[in-house]
Structure 1
Amino acid sequence: MRTLRIAAAVEAISLAALLLNLVTVHTKAITTLGGPVHGMCYLTVIVCTWMTPTTSTARWLAAIPGIGGLLVLRRIQPQGA
């Protein structure tokens, strides 16, 4: 769960940074670093979700780029936590 939380947060932040870079200055260095970071976090979220005993709905939510990991975390957390 810890890996999933970290990967989901970094995935969302890296996508936001990439989109912000795209609409503002479009610096090549940010794109060069942010693209692979976002991609690896995206794949990590998908793999961690499939390794966690969850419903199939949560597994499909993991496939949404950017916010999928956050949606999965919201879906699989216990109601009292």
Structure 2
Amino acid sequence: MPMRALRISAAVEAGSLLLLVLNLATVHLAAPASVLGPVHGCAYLIGIVLTWQLTKTVAVRALSVIPGIGTLLVLRSLRSAEAASQ
């Protein structure tokens, strides 16, 4: 379950960041930003917490705190470590 939640968190974090940047680059409306900002922040924090629960590796934990793409980098790192162990 934690890996599934981490994937969902990564998707929400990346999607909300994309929408925030698109809003900023185009019409710059306040309403979408006021909704998407907290959603993005919560997904970011959830990704950090889940990463710290899943792994004890310092390098992977450090990846999780990179704003915007940290959770995606964590998933990539965990997948490559899983593939290497098989």
Question: TM class by shorter-chain length?
Answer: over 0.9
Runs of 4 or more consecutive aligned structure 1 residues displaced over 2 Å after TM superposition: none
TM-score w.r.t. structure 1 length? 0.93
| Matching of residues 41-80 of structure 1 within 5 Å | 41-77=43-79, 78-79=82-83
C-alpha deviation, 1:54, in angstroms? 4.0
TM-score w.r.t. structure 2 length? 0.88
Distance 1:47 1:39 in 2: 12
C-alpha deviation, 1:53, in angstroms? 2.1
Largest Rg, 1 or 2:
2
Q: 1:11 matched to which residue of 2?
A: 13
Tell me how large the CA RMSD over aligned residues is: 1.4
Instruction: Determine helix, strand or coil for the equivalent of 1:65.
Output: coil
Corresponding position: 1:28 with 2:3: no
Mean Cα deviation higher: 40-49 or 20-29: 20-29
Distance 1:54 1:36 in 2: 28
Counting matched residue pairs gives 81
Q: Which has the higher helix share?
A: 2
Distance 1:32 1:53 in 2: 33
